[in-house]
Structure 1
Amino acid sequence: MLFTKSFFPKLLLLLRVGQAVAVPTQQFTLQDLDKFQEIAKQIAEGTHHAHAKVDDTSGVHGLEVGHQRGFHFENPSLDCKYTSQPLIYDKVMKFAVDTLYLWTLLDEQCHWTITGHFSLAGSYRNSTIFFVNSLWRLRAAFDMETFGIEVYALHGGCDSDMAMLEMHFFGTTLTGAPWHQLNLWSTRWEDDRIVEARAYIDGAQSGRLVKDYEVWSNSTQDTERDTLMPGPLGMPPMKMPPDGY
């Protein structure tokens, strides 16, 4: 891992816990995964209808939008060795209104880590696994017409490949329940895309939403069990007692 403990400041996140309400489950199939991969290919080629226009890579648009929304850039420079703060801001705000912009925001091999101890926490080795196993599951619970992201602060970037984003995610679930959550993303950028990230979120709130929303099991007889996943009691004894059983 490229992240070190010394990189992360000690932060106190004041989290407003919303209410999670169970709603019918949205099904996900292998055909959907094929669709996602095809969309990723179209976006990379610039032929997808949502991104047919050339994406602004200068950061000028992000600078304008940020100023319109009253956002303060610590470093508004567009003359940068790495990705500028205005361009980072622009990409995050585009992702807020179009989930599929994820394929432009993240590198295909982006290593994304969600910290904590809940159902979505873990290390995702590429953007497809992260999208399918985490983001899409959360997205399916929301009324996307009300979903939004407000960037509170943006640190780093420009002359550093590391950037820290403090954000407020807000909206309502499909049943109208309010949702408010603070997110902290620690990211590393290459070629104006996130190649590595560590996300600090309200795990209890997110885990409860997934638990209440997903009233199903995604395991079948075809699931390959190649990773130890002990239950609440932890690992069992792995050796036979000296006197036998």
Structure 2
Amino acid sequence: MILSQYLSYALLAFLLPSATFGRSILSIFGDSTQSPLPKSGCDDGTGLVDPDGKCNGTGVVDDPVPHDREGFKFENPSTDCKYVSQMHIWDSFKYLEKDMNKLFTVIHKNVSFTVVGHHPIAGRYHDLMHFYINALRRVSMLFFDHADLFEIHPQGIYGGCNAEWSVEEIQFKGVMNSGDNFDIINVWFTRWDHDQMVEIRTYIDAPMIMDALHKNEIWWNGTTLRDNLHRNMNGEEKRERERERERERKGLYIDV
């Protein structure tokens, strides 16, 4: 009984390589009984992968049907790019309209992020987390009560593709907690690597962002809610305060 079992294993081991070799011969010289494979379900734009298709198993849809992108006219519609396509840039900003978590996908965690201007959001942020906590989240909370009305619309995209740097004009629209409408266009200079922003400089309209903070942050205008006590400063403290003010007048931004 045991001997016959060993013989069956040996026979199976002999036949399997033969069958495999036979299939390889057919693949070389062709097999007239074969027919073309059906069209893969990977590129129908639905994001659903056909289990019988020729997908690579990553869940990534190859060559999806392009969406409208609000009729945006791309200066360079090429997808054969060394750095990043303009379409990817458009999508990267649009993603943030409804899913702010995408921020951690489209921007590198160690990004060098500079917000230029004379306002509380301005500063040099040496990583994404500092920018998110000290700037982006602070601004996003101004729209918390009407988050569903927040919109992002890229207005212009220049450079990119085979250029490491690109310039974007981005419109941000929404309704603030105060009920006031908000509509601003910011200019972004972005450097890309592996489909992520690794260096950013953005220019924000100071009067508009300061007005938004003033109307929607309770502690921004706290003097209306409490009495403030001001202690008398000694001579050295007054001189230090003057030095701080002088540095603020000369400097464009702060380090965070």
Quickly name the TM-score band, shorter chain normalised: 0.5 to 0.7
Q: Shift of residue 213 of structure 1?
A: 2.5
Aligned residue in 1 for 2:129: 128
Aligned residue in 1 for 2:149: 146
Is the alpha carbon distance of 1:81 and 1:137 closer, same or farther for their aligned partners in structure 2, counting shifts above 3 Å?
A: same
Is the alpha carbon distance of 1:59 and 1:184 closer, same or farther for their aligned partners in structure 2, counting shifts above 3 Å?
A: farther
Q: Shift of residue 144 of structure 1?
A: 1.3
Question: What is the rounded CA distance, in whole Å, between the counterparts of 2:172 and 2:84 in structure 1?
Answer: 23
Is the alpha carbon distance of 1:145 and 1:59 closer, same or farther for their aligned partners in structure 2, counting shifts above 3 Å?
A: farther
Question: What is the rounded CA distance, in whole Å, between the counterparts of 1:122 and 1:59 in structure 2?
Answer: 39
Q: Shift of residue 93 of structure 1?
A: 0.7
Question: What is the rounded CA distance, in whole Å, between the counterparts of 1:154 and 1:88 in structure 2?
Answer: 8
The residue matched to 1:81 in structure 2 has which SS? coil
* Superposition misfits of 4+ residues, deviation over 3 angstroms: 53-56, 58-61, 228-233
Aligned residue in 2 for 1:118: 119
Question: What is the rounded CA distance, in whole Å, between the counterparts of 1:64 and 1:82 in structure 2?
Answer: 22
Q: Shift of residue 215 of structure 1?
A: 2.9
The residue matched to 1:75 in structure 2 has which SS? coil
Give CA deviations for 1:176-224 in whole Å, capped at 9, x if unaligned.
Answer: 210000110010001100000110111121122223333338xxxxxxx
Is the alpha carbon distance of 1:59 and 1:118 closer, same or farther for their aligned partners in structure 2, counting shifts above 3 Å?
A: farther
Q: CA contact under 8 A between 1:59 and 1:87: conserved in structure 2?
A: no
Is the alpha carbon distance of 1:160 and 1:89 closer, same or farther for their aligned partners in structure 2, counting shifts above 3 Å?
A: same
1:172 aligns with 2:147: no
Aligned residue in 1 for 2:165: 162
When the two chains are superposed, the root-mean-square deviation of aligned CA atoms in Å is: 2.4
| Superposition TM-score, scaled by structure 1 size | 0.63
How many residues are treated as equivalent by the alignment?
169
| Superposition TM-score, scaled by structure 2 size | 0.60
The residue matched to 2:79 in structure 1 has which SS? coil
The residue matched to 1:87 in structure 2 has which SS? helix
Question: What is the rounded CA distance, in whole Å, between the counterparts of 2:185 and 2:91 in structure 1?
Answer: 19
Q: Which has the larger radius of gyration?
A: 2
Is the alpha carbon distance of 1:84 and 1:210 closer, same or farther for their aligned partners in structure 2, counting shifts above 3 Å?
A: same
Letter in 1 for 2:165: M
Unaligned runs of 5+ in 1: 1-52, 218-227, 236-245
Determine which structure has the larger helix proportion and give its number: 2
How much identity, in percent, do the aligned residues show?
Answer: 31
The residue matched to 2:162 in structure 1 has which SS? coil
